[in-house]
Amino acid sequence: MFELGFIPAVIALVAVCIANYTDLRKRIIPNRLTFPLIGVGIVFYVLLGIWRPNLWTAISGALGATIAFAIGYVMWFMGGWAGGDVKLFTALGALLPFYSAPYVENVPYPFPITILFNSIIAILPILLVYAVICRIRGRGMLYEQVKITELKEGMIPAVTIYEKDGKVRRWSSKFRKLHYDRLYANPRRAAGLTRYQVGALKRLVRERKLKNYIKLKKGIPFAPALGLGVATAIFYGDIYWCLILALTGA
């Protein structure tokens, strides 16, 4: 018998396939993919909740999206994810918000957490190899330093470069409010540096107001990992809890 719950699962699988293609080929997860999916997930569960009727079902899509966005924002804030990863994860949270896990009886378990853990477990061996290669080459895993004269539009800075009282300065703190007259580089901007900002930074280097280096966030495509996390969560289950139960003999 056909279950309505299959619809968002199929949509999520198709979505991660498209996101994998765009992320690996163009290093971007388009907003025209993620934003509509967030709306589709929220509206789907609202309509499903009205049809059944069930208040929890009606709000689950919005709640799942909120939980997924909160987790994704933390990952982005720590420098591990790009903005596209956060929006894709939010869309997955809206489409696949909660499920009844056998190890958490009578409590709806957030499906985005299962997706995240499955994704991390799936990509962990690759990340370990990548970390070793970066260590051997003397490079950072999440950050790299390049010359400002080699900057391109869309690169994401890891530091803030601003002008205050006629002086150009750098700022790396994420926890204090910054006051400035002009902003040249903003690590919080998910789309990265604009063409104007790149030109302005290069001009500052030519005028010797700024040294010719900048720290950038290294974007690691995470869409493939999320794709594996979604697929294994749907077809197999929670790998994390399976490992915990196996190790504890429960």
Residue 104 has pLDDT above 60, yes or no: no
Kindly indicate the confidence band of residue 133, based on its pLDDT and cuts at 50, 70 and 90: confident
DSSP secondary structure letters along 8-68: HHHHHHHHHHHHHHHHHHHS---HHHHHHHHHHHHHHHHHHHHHTT-HHHHHHHHHHHHHH
Give the CB-side neighbour count of residue 92, counting CA atoms within 13 A: 34
Q: Report the distance separating Cα 55 and Cα 167, nearest Å.
A: 56
Q: Classify domain 6-135+220-248 at the CATH topology level.
A: Four Helix Bundle (Hemerythrin (Met), subunit A) (1.20.120)
Write down the domain spans for the chain: 6-135+220-248, 143-217
pLDDT for the residue numbered 130: 72
pTM for the structure as a whole: 0.74
Contact by Cβ (8 Å): 217, 157: yes
Q: Which of 25, 5, 130, 112 is nearest to 69 (CA)?
A: 112
pLDDT for the residue numbered 17: 93
Contact by Cβ (8 Å): 146, 213: yes
